[in-house]
């Protein structure tokens, strides 16, 4: 059934009733029942119309995750693809959309490379993370480009108000893995600060050991990280802050065509500052300034290596945002803002254009009532290359009773063409040149329809169900028939069901996440590649005095590794165990076993599908953390 935007707007703006107070921005990052990324302002998760998942610092410690992807695998409807061991290329598929169709932020800053459009989450060390928020479903009406599948926002470590708290951690594990981190955090009622550094090293695995590669050594990974976070309250109404994250190191990978040993030196960094001013009881204004960099320099140890094997791509992005929250009455709230960012690309490849800007304005109205609540928002983007784009979203929440809510929503998303799509220079061979880019590309566009049921059926249990459909138009593809020149042609349809269950039973805390999707190319009828149709993740945890134990079971169905659905990868199930011992108030021990049953599985193929990338198999990590009392 079609509903015009004007009719939708009139229906959702009709309102009356009561108001619910939202938490402070900084305090919200410490709480599991709040969300910031859903509407770019802090609010209770129960009030957010979007489907969300939140991992706090306590969750990261309890689950003992060592990569961001280990967290995202626990989100309903999210599947992950890796091309090897630690540090290897990692792709995330949120609700069946591509990696480039999910917006990834670090402290509010976009980190996607301007050239490829992908975000290097494989380089982000969980030791530097305070919180991860995942918003499932399009949010372009608030964020603009890339938010078709959803938004993943990572917040760096924060200080607290309990004085100085040093922390030292050392871990050792399989494949000559060594993890070291050192941190100092603390503060008082006015100022909070956190400074942390880490160094992770591993010999890795031979990701192409099953193929005929001449390079059969393990692919090592080295990652150095530094984070800093400072918050200061000048008055009860005025506070400011600054945060920075820098990740840099080297990843080895295999040359499947020769004996050389190629490497990539990387740097992923962000810096941002904000001023938050509660002008009066009704109006809060927040200004954010930021900068991010994504650098990759590829080299080779072969003395006579082809110069074409040495290349670099560096993205520099500056941004500014102004976000205003205005309480019109106790029931009505408006979020009004403006965004600007500029991308600059420095590369050994001579792109036709190497910079572009984007500016936008957005407004969203929220009404909170006893009988129903609504959201209605619109954003207008203007880009230097592809022109203007309008995005809408709307939601209606109906409380069935004090424990159950129904939510119906509509949202639009879009993804801008990348620099590779628009500006990559022509490829020439033996005097014949082929177009590698298309400056006339339009943005990819999506429309999403969703129904949610949220139930807090007991004091210890909750259930969230989401049924959705995503229609994507003007998807950018390239194939051999056009000489690999990208063009707008593909249309896709994704149907999905998500379930998230949390329950405490017989002293055990259980968290279950299930995702069922049917992602189809509507032109060919084929399943979209590299998306698992069924995913399941179960975590069980229990505490026995100073001891904790936990287990994880993750099941992933088979998937196709190509658009033609001729290369099929088998499904798999992985079992993991973890445990911890709080020796005293200062020392704690932890141990973790991944892939306990040593399951042999693959998430991607290489060499035109002839071989599968290897995975780590069974691994173990043991760590000790010392937090002395000052």
Ranked by mean pLDDT, which of 207-221, 479-493, 616-630 comes out on top? 616-630
Q: What is the mean pLDDT of residues 244-259?
A: 87
Give yes or no for residue 15 having a pLDDT over 50. Answer: no
Between the alpha carbon of residue 379 and those of residues 145, 157, 303, 362, the distances in Å are 11, 31, 53, 4
The residue behind tokens 């995503």 is 470
Q: Which residues contact 520 (CB under 8 A, 6 or more apart)?
A: 492, 493, 494, 526, 527, 528
Q: What is the mean pLDDT of residues 444-473?
A: 96
Tokens in use for 280?
A: 């009066």
Write down the pLDDT at residue 376: 97
Q: What is the mean pLDDT of residues 610-622?
A: 92
Adjacent-strand bridge partners of 374: 367, 396
Task: Tell me the CB-side half-sphere exposure of residue 571, using CA atoms within 13 A.
Answer: 13
Q: Which structural domain, as residue segments, surrounds residue 608?
A: 5-626
Band (pLDDT 50/70/90 cuts) for residue 305 is low
Write down the pLDDT at residue 1: 40
Between the alpha carbon of residue 485 and those of residues 21, 438, 464, 491, 596, the distances in Å are 52, 7, 43, 18, 45
Tokens in use for 514?
A: 């299930």
Strands of the sheet containing 150-156, edge to edge, are 51-56, 129-136, 150-156, 102-106, 109-110
User: Using CA atoms, how far apart are residues 214 and 235, in angstroms rounded to an integer?
Assistant: 64
Percent of the chain with pLDDT over 70: 93
User: Using CA atoms, how far apart are residues 149 and 146, in angstroms rounded to an integer?
Assistant: 8
User: Using CA atoms, how far apart are residues 329 and 449, in angstroms rounded to an integer?
Assistant: 30
Write down the pLDDT at residue 309: 60
Classify the C-alpha dihedral 154-160-163-165 as positive or negative.
Answer: negative
Adjacent-strand bridge partners of 377: 364, 393
Total number of domains constituting the chain: 1
Band (pLDDT 50/70/90 cuts) for residue 7 is very low
Q: What is the mean pLDDT of residues 46-53?
A: 94
**pLDDT per position as a tens digit, 252-290:** 988 777 677 889 999 999 999 999 999 999 999 999 999
Band (pLDDT 50/70/90 cuts) for residue 516 is very high
Q: Is 37 helix (H, G, I), strand (E, B) or coil?
A: coil
Q: Find, among 212, 135, 165, the residue nearest to 448 by Cα.
A: 135
Query: Could you give the angle at the alpha carbon of 325 between the alpha carbons of 322 and 329, nearest 5°?
Result: 160
DSSP 312-362: EEEEEEEEEEEEEEEESSSSEEEEEEEEEEEEEEEESS--S--EEEEEEEE
Q: Find, among 125, 154, 152, the residue nearest to 248 by Cα.
A: 125
Q: H or E element: which one contains 499?
A: strand 487-505
Tokens in use for 46?
A: 């129960």
Write down the pLDDT at residue 608: 78
User: Using CA atoms, how far apart are residues 528 and 248, in angstroms rounded to an integer?
Assistant: 33
CATH code for position 325 = 2.40.170.20
Q: Are 173 and 179 in contact (CB under 8 A)?
A: yes
Q: Which residues contact 17 (CB under 8 A, 6 or more apart)?
A: 331, 368, 369, 370, 371
Band (pLDDT 50/70/90 cuts) for residue 4 is very low
DSSP 507-570: TEEEEEEEEEEEEEETTT-PBPTT--SEEEEEEEEEEETTEEEEEEEEEE--EESSTTS--EEP
Q: Is 8 helix (H, G, I), strand (E, B) or coil?
A: helix
487 or 592: which carries more pLDDT confidence? 592
Tokens in use for 282?
A: 């009704």
Adjacent-strand bridge partners of 312: 297
Q: Find, among 195, 127, 132, the residue nearest to 159 by Cα.
A: 195
Q: What is the 3-state secondary structure (H, E, C) of 197-227?
A: EEEEEECCCCCCCCCCCCCCCCCCEEEEEEE
User: Using CA atoms, how far apart are residues 196 and 568, in angstroms rounded to an integer?
Assistant: 43
Q: H or E element: which one contains 230?
A: strand 221-233
Write down the pLDDT at residue 386: 83
Adjacent-strand bridge partners of 565: none
DSSP state of 13: H
User: Using CA atoms, how far apart are residues 49 and 367, in angstroms rounded to an integer?
Assistant: 11
Instruction: Find the distance separating the first CA and the last CA of the chain, reported in whole Å.
Output: 64
User: Using CA atoms, how far apart are residues 313 and 295, in angstroms rounded to an integer?
Assistant: 6
Write down the pLDDT at residue 283: 95
User: Using CA atoms, how far apart are residues 223 and 251, in angstroms rounded to an integer?
Assistant: 8
Q: Are 613 and 603 in contact (CB under 8 A)?
A: yes
Q: Find, among 507, 505, 506, 576, the residue nearest to 539 by Cα.
A: 576
Write down the pLDDT at residue 107: 96
User: Using CA atoms, how far apart are residues 263 and 220, in angstroms rounded to an integer?
Assistant: 9
User: Using CA atoms, how far apart are residues 413 and 137, in angstroms rounded to an integer?
Assistant: 9
User: Using CA atoms, how far apart are residues 42 and 28, in angstroms rounded to an integer?
Assistant: 6
Classify the C-alpha dihedral 91-293-250-593 as positive or negative.
Answer: negative
Rg (CA), the chain: 24
**pLDDT per position as a tens digit, 70-83:** 999 999 999 999 99
Between the alpha carbon of residue 172 and those of residues 175, 178, 221, 622, the distances in Å are 9, 5, 14, 6
Write down the pLDDT at residue 609: 82
Percent of the chain with pLDDT over 90: 78
Band (pLDDT 50/70/90 cuts) for residue 483 is low
DSSP3 helix / strand / coil % (the chain, rounded to 5)? 10, 55, 35
**pLDDT per position as a tens digit, 409-444:** 999 999 999 999 999 988 777 777 778 899 989 999
Give yes or no for residue 533 having a pLDDT over 90. Answer: yes
Strands (E), 369-443: 373-383, 387-399, 404-415, 427-429, 432-434
């Amino acid at each position: 059934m079609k509903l015009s935007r004007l009719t939708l707007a009139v229906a959702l703006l009709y309102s009356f009733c009561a108001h619910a107070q939202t938490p402070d921005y900084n305090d919200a990052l410490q709480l599991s029942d709040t969300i910031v990324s859903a509407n770019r302002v802090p609010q209770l998760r129960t009030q957010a119309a979007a489907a969300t998942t939140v991992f706090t610092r306590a969750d990261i410690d309890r689950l003992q995750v060592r990569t961001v992807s280990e967290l995202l695998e626990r989100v309903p409807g999210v599947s992950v693809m890796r091309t090897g061991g630690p540090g290897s290329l990692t792709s995330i598929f949120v609700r069946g959309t591509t990696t480039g169709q999910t917006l990834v932020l670090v402290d509010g800053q976009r980190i996607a490379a301007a050239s490829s459009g992908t975000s290097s989450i494989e380089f982000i060390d969980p030791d530097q993370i305070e919180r991860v928020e995942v918003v499932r479903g399009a949010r372009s009406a608030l964020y603009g480009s890339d938010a078709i599948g959803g938004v993943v926002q990572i917040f760096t470590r924060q200080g607290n108000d309990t004085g100085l708290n040093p922390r030292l951690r050392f871990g050792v594990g399989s494949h000559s893995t060594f993890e070291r981190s050192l941190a100092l955090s603390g503060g008082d009622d006015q100022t909070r600060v956190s400074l942390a550094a880490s160094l992770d090293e591993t010999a890795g695995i031979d990701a192409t050991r099953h193929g005929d590669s001449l390079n059969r050594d393990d692919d090592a990974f080295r990652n150095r990280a530094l984070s800093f976070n400072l918050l200061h309250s000048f008055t009860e109404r005025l506070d400011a802050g600054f945060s920075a994250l820098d990740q840099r190191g080297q990843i080895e990978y295999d040359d499947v065509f020769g004996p050389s040993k190629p490497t990539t030196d990387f740097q992923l960094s962000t810096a941002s500052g904000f001023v938050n001013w509660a002008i009066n009881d009704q109006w809060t204004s927040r200004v954010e300034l930021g900068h991010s960099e994504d650098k990759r320099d590829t080299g080779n140890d072969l003395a006579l290596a082809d110069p074409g094997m040495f290349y670099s791509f560096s993205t520099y992005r500056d941004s500014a945002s102004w976000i205003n929250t205005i309480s019109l009455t106790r029931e009505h709230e408006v979020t009004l803002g403006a965004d600007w960012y500029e991308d600059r690309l420095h590369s050994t490849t001579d792109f036709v254009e190497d910079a572009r800007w984007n500016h936008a304005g957005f407004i969203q109205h929220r009404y909170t009532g006893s009988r129903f609540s609504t959201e209605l928002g619109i954003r207008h983007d203007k880009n230097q290359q592809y022109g203007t784009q309008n995005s809408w979203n709307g939601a209606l929440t109906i409380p069935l009773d004090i424990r159950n809510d129904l939510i119906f929503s509509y949202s639009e998303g879009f993804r801008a063409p990348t620099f590779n799509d628009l500006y990559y220079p022509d490829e020439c061979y033996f005097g014949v040149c082929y177009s590698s880019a298309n400056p006339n590309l339009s943005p990819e566009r999506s429309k999403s329809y969703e129904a949610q049921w949220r139930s807090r059926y007991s004091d210890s249990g909750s259930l969230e169900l989401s049924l959705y459909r995503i229609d994507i138009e003007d998807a950018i593809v390239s194939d051999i028939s056009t000489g690999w020149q990208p063009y707008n042609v593909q249309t896709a349809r994704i149907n999905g069901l998500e379930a998230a269950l949390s329950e405490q039973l017989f002293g055990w805390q259980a968290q279950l996440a299930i995702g069922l999707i049917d992602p189809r190319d509507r032109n060919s009828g084929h399943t979209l590649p590299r998306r698992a149709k069924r995913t399941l993740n179960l975590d069980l945890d229990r505490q026995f005095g100073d001891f904790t134990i936990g287990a994880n079971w993750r099941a992933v169905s088979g998937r196709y590794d190509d658009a033609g659905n001729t290369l099929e990868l088998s499904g798999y199930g992985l079992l993991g165990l973890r445990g911890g011992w709080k020796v005293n108030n200062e020392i704690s021990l932890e141990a973790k076993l991944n892939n306990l049953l040593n399951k042999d599985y693959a998430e991607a193929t290489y060499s035109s599908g002839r071989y599968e990338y290897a995975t780590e198999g069974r691994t173990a990590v043991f760590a000790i953390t010392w937090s002395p009392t000052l």
